[in-house]
Chain A
Amino acid sequence: MAARRVVITSVGAVSPLGLGSEAFWSGLIQGRCGIGPIRSFDPVKLPCRIAGEVSEYKIRDYVPKSYRKATKLMCRDIELAVIAADEAVRSSGLVSKAIDPEHVTLRPERTAIDFGSGIISCELPEIAPSVVLSAVDGRFDMKKWGREGLQTVTPLWLLKYLPNMLPCHVGILHDIQGPSNTITCGEVSSHIAVTEAAEMILRDSADAALAGGGEAKINPLLMVRQCLLKRAVFTDNDDPQHACRPFDASAAGAVFGEGAGVLLLEEYEQAKARGAPMLAEFAGGASSCTPTEAYVHMKDGSGLKIAIEQALRQAHIDAADLDLIIPHGTGIARDDRVEAAVLQEVLGGAVEKVPVWPIKAQVGHLGAAAGAMDLIAAVGAIRHGTIGAAYNFRSPADGCRLHFLKEPAQKKIRHVLCCGYSYGGQTAAVVLRKVSEASQ
């Protein structure tokens, strides 16, 4: 029996560049930037006051009437994932329960779901009245909280913030009954989720899978965390569009954002049989780590190198065969330096010819969703034969010899590498390729 293959047959995205994968792709190529002043709360007194926010939407528009009540149990991370999944399923040609319960073609038991998710912080104004009720003489009192305060918190409060609720809600909406997992591996979560979903299809646990990730980093608690860790950019609050400058000599930190990206993966023969558009093929995915005692930044690039080399090996290609790399490129200078060194080492002599396209300057760092956004950009590049310019890149950081484009370019693209790393030291890499008849 020939080995199974996994193809991507549709995508869905919600990003600071707009609602929908089309807005995401055209925004990237047209050189738009989704980063601006934080509006969802007043970030006064925060050293970083800018972020990539998603424009207004009504979650009711993305769920069937029968599910509207359940949207009360959705925090923002869940909403974003639901919207991105809705687009991915709707544009795939498969019919799920959410789209038309009378004519379902998606097979519930043979469909898997695997999302990357962040640690979700609660909405402060929601819980604040209960906390304030628990104060005695202006100080929080744990006894009063236990006796009175917590009794006023909405009973299902916890369910709104569990990381696995992203795939749970999406799975309920579209009736996905196969394996379900939630990868909570920091900023490589969705690289890993997509890889694992592909593995579920390859090992015959499913024939299709919704995979990706979602995270809303623009929560006051999460923003404070990134400020305390000194990862966020502090110096560019008055010029948000130019604040994130990956691999640039003037890189000063990351800008965080919110969004979700979902890819529909399908077994090749199934996709072919139903005449689905095959946008790209999953060619390989790997993860590793650099054990790092300091935990916040990568000590060295060894773990990233292992992940990239493994992914290339699975794809049966050399680094020189790559037509594009979408790197992690956060704009945090010391991390960018390590990543650039690894990519240069892996590429060797090919460093001058393989374009590198960092997209976080335009959309921000979407945390657990970052890898999914990179992969959707990679799918776009393969599909359209187009690579975008490196936004905000002017002059290379010390030691960086990577090849960035100043203008978008047309090019036949066969293989794309997306790679990432997280605080904590975890690393990941995924290779996508253009679909051809012959198995590789």
Chain B
Amino acid sequence: MSERVVITGMGVVCPIGNSVAEMWEGLMTGRHGMNQNTLFDASAYPTTFDAEVKNYDLSKIVKNPALHAHGNRGTAFVLGAAVEACRQAGIDTETESPSDGLDRSRMGIYLGAGEGAMDSEAFFSAIVDAWNSQTHEMDWAAWAETTFRIMTAEHELEQETNMPAAHLAVLTGARGILRSCLTACAASTQAVGEAVMLVRSGQADVMVAGGAHSMIHPLGLMGFNRLTALSTRNDDPATASRPFSASRDGFILGEGGAVVILESLTSARKRGAAILAEITGFGSSSDAFRVTDMHEEARGAVQAIRAALKDAGVTLCDIDYISTHGTSTVENDSIETLAIKTVFGEYARKVPCSSPKSQFGHLIGATGCAELITCVMAIQENILPATMNLHDPDPALDLDYVPNKPRKKKIDTVLKESFGFGGQNNVLVIRRFSE
């Protein structure tokens, strides 16, 4: 049994917009989502800026905000994205006994979701109170005293990575397969890909799939800064994300939530749901190289792209557009270009490829699904999002990156690439739906 898998709803909350329409309008008008950090005092960090979700108020979006009051930032974002996606798909999230005709035992959830921000006040204060610099030992009694004074059960629980999915279950009433994964920056592409497999094999009729993450917290920003993965262009956040340019110096830490409703064609037809696009291919691989670096010859990326193309049953010249991982780090953009050239050969320079991260930053676990949504919009509108801030091309990188302004082009088939720290590679093929 093999079901065709279509997308019947989409929703997003990201640094350039809190809906698909707002995000797309931002992409089309060259808006960026970068700002000086407002979530904590990062003014002395190597990187003082990030890409934050703005003007977002979950209590105006969900019917019963009290149920989600303690949720972490990623949870809040993905709930908003899910409300939008469900509304578009005609899935009722408003009533106790939904009348949308969808069997909740056949509706599942698959999220690529990250951890919630830790209670940094408790974390830092307790260590300061407890560390003995003479003996280099913790006074665990002092540590526990401060910790218990500040930490709360609610905040602790909501840091757990399965909690965004738990909140989505409460919102949607889904009782089918429920999974949550965290494969770094490839997480939500992987979640969507694996969810596609579950619908294709008939294990679910509908999967609410996507990502939720915010690592804009003191330890997250510190961790990426220590890895020298982030741009330090503190005096010019607006143009700091410059994938594929010679002056690229790292990614911009973003945050967000993104959801697509995946549905079997049979179910979508039965309900008369509008079909936005079809996902026809998924490829997943691991570099098995180093935890610190991507494989020098892009071995894993190449394998994942080829697996996705094969799964979709398409040839190289069927691909009209590649939505890159395009982080704006020196390493990723070089290796990713190499991967595309290796797979596509002579055709590589003819396929336009771009990176929306140049505008909304890197949403980490949520990024792949947000970018997938830009692919569906590109198919619907026949416009490719641009790679902004590409004024000084890296001479070694010579593909068509759709520099600086969106481009009209008739496109039917798109490749979406995501690569995660540790060498996880996940690739999707998305097609314009036709009978």
**Chain A residues close to B by CB (< 8 Å):** 41-46, 70, 73, 108-109, 113, 117, 119, 122, 124-125, 127-129, 131-132, 134-135, 138-140, 142-147, 150, 153-159, 162-165, 167-169, 171-172, 174-186, 189, 192, 196, 199, 203, 205, 220-221, 224-225, 228-230, 286-289, 291-293, 295-296, 302-303, 306, 422-427
Contact = CB atoms under 8 A, between A and B. Distances in A.
Contacts of A147: 44
B175 A289 contact: yes
B182 A150 contact: no
B140 A220 contact: yes
Contact of A289 (B118, B128, B153, B166): B166
B38 interface: no
Nearest to B180: A185
Interface string B165-186: 1100110011111111111100
B314 interface: no
B67 A293 contact: yes
Contacts of A196: 179, 194
Interface in B137-182: 137-138, 140-141, 143-145, 147-148, 151-153, 156-157, 159-163, 165-166, 169-170, 173-182
A125 B124 CA distance: 12
A271 to B, nearest CB: 22
B296 interface: no
Contacts of A228: 148, 151-153, 156
Nearest to B40: A142
A195 B218 CA distance: 36
B290 A172 contact: yes
Contacts of B30: none
Contacts of A220: 140, 143-144, 147
A131 B113 contact: no
10 contacts: A119-B115, A128-B130, A132-B128, A150-B222, A155-B227, A159-B292, A162-B421, A180-B285, A181-B424, A426-B178
Contacts of B118: 221
Contacts of A184: 113, 161-162, 180-182
A45 B420 contact: no
A257 B131 CA distance: 25
Nearest to B113: A184
A291 B172 CA distance: 9
Contacts of A306: 105, 175-176
Interface string B218-258: 11001111111000000000000000000000000000000
Contact of A73 (B131, B148, B287, B291): B291
Given A132-B128, A132-B133, A184-B182, A288 B284 contact: no
Given A177-B300, A180-B183, A186-B162, A291 B173 contact: yes
Contacts of A302: 175
A46 B128 contact: no
Given A44-B140, A124-B127, A177-B299, A291 B40 contact: no
B180 A139 contact: no
A147 B159 CA distance: 27
Contacts of A168: 286, 291, 422-424
B44 A158 contact: no
B82 to A, nearest CB: 13
A62 B67 CA distance: 46
Given A44-B144, A158-B227, A182 B183 contact: yes
Interface string B46-84: 100000000000000000000100000000000000000
Contacts, number: 276
Contacts of A295: 157, 163, 166
A221 B160 CA distance: 12
Interface string B36-47: 000011111110
Contact of A180 (B115, B219, B226, B286): B286
Given A157-B226, A228-B153, A426 B128 contact: no
Contacts of B131: 128-129, 131-132
A146 B284 contact: no
B153 A288 contact: no
Given A164-B422, A168-B423, A175-B288, A146 B42 contact: yes
A164 B170 contact: no
Interface in B414-435: 420-424
Interface of B: 40-46, 67, 105, 109, 113, 115, 118, 123-125, 127-128, 130-131, 133, 136-138, 140-141, 143-145, 147-148, 151-153, 156-157, 159-163, 165-166, 169-170, 173-184, 190, 194, 197, 201, 218-219, 222-228, 284-292, 299-300, 303, 307, 420-424
A183 B180 contact: yes
B138 A128 contact: yes
Contacts of A157: 222-223, 226
B343 to A, nearest CB: 15
A117 B287 contact: no
Contacts of B180: 183-185, 426
Q: Nearest 4 pairs between A and B by C-beta? A: A158-B223, A146-B44, A424-B166, A168-B422
A79 to B, nearest CB: 14
Nearest to A128: B131
B148 A45 contact: yes
Contacts of B184: 162, 164
Contacts of A140: 124-125, 127-128
B178 A185 contact: yes
Contact of B160 (A44, A131, A424): A424
A164 B183 contact: yes
Nearest to B66: A293
A182 B182 contact: yes
A218 B375 CA distance: 44
A179 B291 contact: no
A168 B127 CA distance: 30
A422 B165 CA distance: 12
Contact of B291 (A119, A128, A159, A175): A159
Given A158-B223, A162-B422, A228-B156, 13 more contacts: A128-B138, A129-B131, A132-B131, A140-B127, A153-B222, A178-B284, A183-B179, A185-B165, A288-B105, A306-B176, A422-B162, A423-B157, A424-B162
Contacts of B218: 142, 145
Given A143-B43, A179-B284, A287-B179, A292 B170 contact: yes
Given A183-B181, A185-B178, A192-B179, A225 B286 contact: no
B125 A426 contact: no
B79 to A, nearest CB: 13
A418 to B, nearest CB: 17
B125 A139 contact: yes
A291 B286 contact: no
Contact of B147 (A125, A127, A172, A224): A224
Contacts of B169: 289, 291, 425-426
B354 to A, nearest CB: 27
B224 A158 contact: yes
Contact of B141 (A44, A186, A224, A425): A44
A421 B277 CA distance: 35
A408 B156 CA distance: 39
A43 B140 contact: yes
B138 A156 contact: no
Given A150-B225, A171-B288, A186-B162, A180 B424 contact: yes
Contacts of B166: 289, 291-292, 295, 424-426
Given A164-B422, A224-B144, A228-B153, A155 B226 contact: yes
Contacts of A145: 44, 124, 218, 222
